[in-house]
Structure 1
């Protein structure tokens, strides 16, 4: 109960202050992650905020207001402000106040508080749609409006609890192998089984749509495959790029009874619709002009899919949300390493793909040996003398690019390559000219957006098999790529402090290697520049996952 020795202070504005140097810090951090968002993480005090979305996600996992009150009381120094406890109760209660169900073959909104429901449907965000009250007090919703109504209600602060169920989809039996194609025995890890069970649901927590949030290297693809085999339905898998599509295909062939002629690729290179179809976000969002229609969205309704899997949900392009809103009768599984979206559309992910069904802290998987231990090291360097005199008179955008492309970073990169010779190393950057120059100077191949897919696949394969030990990657390195032996990453530039990008890049090196050496994640940052501000923002993600962040000077 409340005692000054505890690490937590709860403030009346719903911010939570957590002492890092407290013996109970780790346990408290774990408890808070279930219902609060980390906002700031300097050395000694981390600050969290309780938000409606964080509470609705907690409620979707069966967490009650009483559970949260108990957790807060367990770690708090002082009595918790009454208004905070009241707001927790209010928001947790809102999840489920409005229920969507199917009765008499029609979608209906219902509530134990009919007056609240009828006030909400009069709001302009909702009343513009073709919905109407029925004689029994429920609200009739056309099937195609299932998604947009959920989006509208969440904007009003009342997330709809969707219990309308799903169309069965066409049966397509398949099974998981207990032995992979190369003869290696295989079984799911306990947390993967738990994630699949959470998605499929149970009587008190129905499943069928939602997110599994696990770090890169934790086997999110395996979770998707297990869900496929458990349901035994035709499946559409949406991925970030062709490389990811082909990785999924390899995994499907390796771990299930499906054969090559049952798996189709739908991309810029191939247009196959088969019982299991893997499509890229790029082809789905392709159109001839900004005003033209999207040419390939028919794929969503072309087959009687029983499951749609969204890989890398945090990268889901905005146009896909529109069509996702129209296929709410299909089961939907989202896989992601982070709920953070740079466009702020987390509530749309919640409404349209589903709430967070399963989450496991990165550090827990590290302790169990499923992902590698990691050291995160920021190396701060002075601006190169050739531009230092002009820097302060540059326009802000030019200052940012100059700091990112600081020539001094190349020497530091070369030193790190020499220091870690013999390990598999990724060099990650944003600007094409920069990554190409580094590739030329260190004698390493470069993969960027214009690199042909066949060339990318060849280089990734050579890296996997040890023919090359260093790869230089532009933003394509943020996408889903399977490089299991990479254990050192050197980040020379990034997307303006993107926490989402930091998650992806760190994830590239978290698969455990035979040597059991800790993974090393270096960020080279220019001192006295805007880049340093961006670097502080990226640290938030690492701190949220429990990684210490070292500062060195080059």
Structure 2
């Protein structure tokens, strides 16, 4: 019997013994195809899912690679049913292909005729097919390329899409690598995306996803539409493209609530694309305003639901999704897989950290005792009120002050979910604040003041969760968040991961009201980061020493 850190169970769960000397290596290899479900102190539970296996297969990992990981680290023999299940599940990927016939028609083809017969009998797939010219081929309606991929994934038969892409209107885009160059993992991400045609690149916050986007634009040399989370992000993309590529200001347009420019490279916000007027999407024409050859989806894990529907009609255009995590709290990872594309490249956070490209970070959960009066009020509250009461507990203010004092001289972000709490924190710390109501120009001014060190403490709402470049931030104090959101936790830690000039370790604090739902949600929030190899030290607020 081996003495490995894993126990593989017949229900496709995998237990990882955290204290085992090989635990980190096992975690690194396991994360390729398994998802972390629970991460208490000693034993972490992973689950091998169909989507995880198919994403791994699309990224170049075979069933034998995945089974070799389980066998190498497993303490007991891998159950035969799991081995068979993994092989058969992985083998489903690519049995069906979407391509074009000699006449340019979109077709669904399979060398496995019984499988093709099975899926085409599905009542949601039948209306998408218009003819059956041969036993191994069905003709797909021209508009249904995205929808049929969605429906096939739902019934467990993901199709590989080889139908090709419109090249778009050519537009010269080069990288200006005078005093920098794409890092090896960025180059690999660009190459694997280009070879696959469409798909998602997963990189940690601070690892240069924008540069991967610029590299993909340089590789495709075509008109490009870039979709981003907000106007501040749009301007950061513009500034980075002007700095890193041959593009000029006249070639880059901003399409947002403030500006409506359409140029060979256009950067638009998700909000403007999903804005409605009299029940219709008012800016839908942007998707066909130019002959786009590439569409880049920044922070694809935050893609609004309506954009999935719009994307289903864009399958003839190359699509690149950029994200730090494929986790979606709405469970629509399958739609990212089928409509944007499968995962093409994934670099583990700790691997990039070990190479010195992102800063090391220490994570702390600071537990705060509520005063008796607050505890009684909490106990008497309705269930739907309890999280807000715990998350905004006044007792957290003193701890925030203590942490700011402890890290005096560093660049500190204080992050909250609720606007009244953010007002209180800003007043208590005598620090400026940024919320959704802050005008874009004022946001940019405050972010720039923070970058230059003119201000050292900034209180922010969830608007700073994503796509904000604050390279000198070294401390984040998370006072409240969106319930148990794993993606938000990853984004907030990501604000700290730009490498520091002095090589210092960043500090990420989460303030938790002890013995409340605040504590329960925190455990779920931490799951994704635990999967990446981060652990949380529990501190007591009264002494800020390990509890």
TM range (shorter): over 0.9
Tell me whether 249-258 or 73-82 shows the greater mean CA deviation. Answer: 73-82
Q: Deviations over 1:33-74 (max 9, x none)?
A: 111111111111111111100110111022111112222111
The answer to whether the 8 A contact 2:475-2:506 is kept is yes
Per-residue CA distance 1:229-284 (angstroms, 9 max, x = gap) = 11110000000000000000000000011100100000000111000000000000
Counterpart of 2:382? 395
Counterpart mapping for 1:22-421 below 5 A: 22-103=20-101, 104-135=103-134, 137-179=136-178, 185-201=179-195, 207-288=196-277, 292-421=279-408
Unaligned runs of 5+ in 2: 542-547
TM (norm. structure 2) is 0.97
Paired with 2:221 and 2:208, the residues of 1 have a C-alpha distance of 20
**Structure 2 counterpart of 1:204:** none
What does the per-residue CA deviation read over 1:413-449, in whole Å, with 9 as the maximum and x for residues that have no partner? 0011111011000000000000111001101111001
Match for residue 414 of structure 2 among 405, 422, 427: 427
Deviation at 1:130, TM superposition (A): 4.6
TM-score normalized with structure 1 length: 0.96
Kindly provide the CA deviation profile for residues 162-200 of structure 1, in whole angstroms up to 9, marking residues without a partner as x.
Answer: 111111111001210012xxxxx1111110001001101
> Which ranges of structure 1 fall in alignment gaps of 5 or more residues?
180-184, 202-206
In 2, the alpha carbon distance for the partners of 1:17 and 1:226 equals 39
- Secondary structure at the counterpart of residue 17 of structure 1: strand
Q: Are residues 1:539 and 2:538 paired?
A: no
Q: Distance in 1 between matches of 2:135 and 2:151?
A: 23
SS in 2 for 1:229: helix
Q: Match for residue 453 of structure 2?
A: 466
Instruction: Tell me the alpha carbon deviations over residues 98-157 of structure 1, each in whole angstroms, 9 at most, x when there is no partner.
Output: 100111201100001122112211111212335331246411112211000000000010
* C-alpha separation in 1, matches of 2:71 and 2:389: 49
Mapped to 1, the partners of 2:500 and 2:255 lie a distance apart of 33
Quote how far apart the aligned CAs of 1:388 are.
2.4
> How many residues are aligned here?
540
**C-alpha contact 1:144 1:327 (8 A) present in aligned 2:** no
Distance in 2, Cα, partners of 1:136 & 1:64: 29
Deviations 1:188-224 (A, max 9, x none): 11100010011011xxxxx110010011000000000
CA shift, 1:479, in A, is: 2.2
SS of equivalent residue, structure 2 residue 100? strand
Q: Deviations over 1:441-470 (max 9, x none)?
A: 101111001110111011011111111111
Pairing partner for 1:6 from 4, 23, 27: 4
Three-state SS of the structure 2 residue aligned to 1:12 is coil
8 Å CA contact retained: 1:542, 1:549: no
Check whether the contact 2:99–2:163 (CA below 8 A) recurs between aligned residues.
yes
Provide the secondary structure at the position in 2 that maps to 1:456: helix
